[in-house]
Structure 1
Amino acid sequence: MDSFELNKLLGGLLGAAFVVFSIGIVSDSIFASPAPEKPGFEVVAAEPEEGGAADEGPSVEPIAVRLASADASAGEAVFKKCVACHTAENGGANKVGPNLWNIVNRPIASHEGFSYSGGMTEFSEDHSVHWDYEHLDHFLEGPRNYVKGTAMAFAGVKRPEERANLIAYLRTLSDDPAPLPEVEEPEAAEAATGEDPAAAQEAAPEGEQPAAEEPAANGDDASTDAPAETQETAPEAEEPAAQ
């Protein structure tokens, strides 16, 4: 290829590049879309109020309330999740976990012959903390979340009703089962005892409204109650003329 042909080829390439570049500049100027000074939709993330609690989902009834209607037989079926690591009979051997006979109200990390993890031993506060119903409920929901450092790998029983049934079954693992916790009276009942008498009177049926108190009778005729001024200003009876 001679120099003339090479020049034509290079010129064509340069010309094509110039045309493409020019078209890009023109199109940018025509279809330019500058960013607005203020967005059309301003999205403001709502921040929780100071001291406000995060959404914790549906509230769970206290264990005392759930135990009142718990089914120990159903809890025995739930306990099948635990038999790989625990025994339940009196005098049963320790396995991966300690024997659970008489577990309710037993001091934490106190079963003889079992080597507890450092996290469980620390949680027990030198065996001063007991496995009462509240501690059992929270621990069985998520052992590692409740007792940091425990060696128990069980994921937990997430459904509150199942936990109550399981705890009701654990309560039966004793010659003298621990008493069930007392259920606190609803606050509404307490509020009713301090009801405003005036409000109660307004709410009472019309026929039961107390009668208005009448003034005590003084035994005098109504005419004697006339003002003294009227009696004093009354004209005296005229005396008959002397005959």
Structure 2
Amino acid sequence: MEIPEGDPTSPTALEALHPLAVSEVEVTSSLRHREAYTQRGLHTVLWHEPTGDVESLPAAIVACGGAMGGLLGPGHGLYQRLGDRWAARGVRFLRVGYREPNNLDLCAHDLAVGVELARDAGAERVVVMGHSFGGAVAIRAAVVMTGSVAGVVTFATQSGGCEVAGALAGRPLLLFHGDRDEILPMEASEVVHAIAGAGELVTLEGDGHLLAKSDDTITERLDQWLPSVLRVTDS
């Protein structure tokens, strides 16, 4: 649903968060930590920002974790790696921590807040990504944020909660899944891919649910896929 600007009966995701207080600190010159205290819990964002002579581009990536939350993502801290990598190219990277992990609607709201923060900072196109349960979170946020979210990436996604994937309406979708996933079978991503009716499913051979063997493969495929979706020059 598109939310009219200035309509008090249709608050934005940020307004609907109803923060009691917000605190932010610069961890390094390229990483900020933002916390919003709410009546439903703590909303956290780790924000990778271009620094130095790097031009900030009108694009961002907003990522979320699985059913237990977390900010590192799959693999060996893949989100930290991607955040450093893409901020160095001028693309903001936000890692969102849930107020209530495993609450699908609330977590989708939390991710939408991250998208709005990125948009307010100048991003005209945003890619959302999520691991496991977070795949459903990313798809649900994308479906209702048609004006901001340009594409979706999932890592070992569940299929539950992704029944709405057809409403992506052909927007770019990239799914990664290990063929030795011990928690969610490969068929989960295949189902989501079929519902969406578009996109690309990448099989990570020999890898399990945490995708611990595929950091390099994922990073390299995203290097190829993200520039065109975000409409940025790959340097």
TM category (shorter chain) comes to: under 0.3
Q: Which has the higher helix share?
A: 1
TM-score by length of 2: 0.21
Q: Which has the higher Rg, Structure 1 or Structure 2?
A: 1
Structure 1 or 2: larger strand share? 2
Could you state the TM-score of these two structures normalised by the residue count of structure 1? 0.20
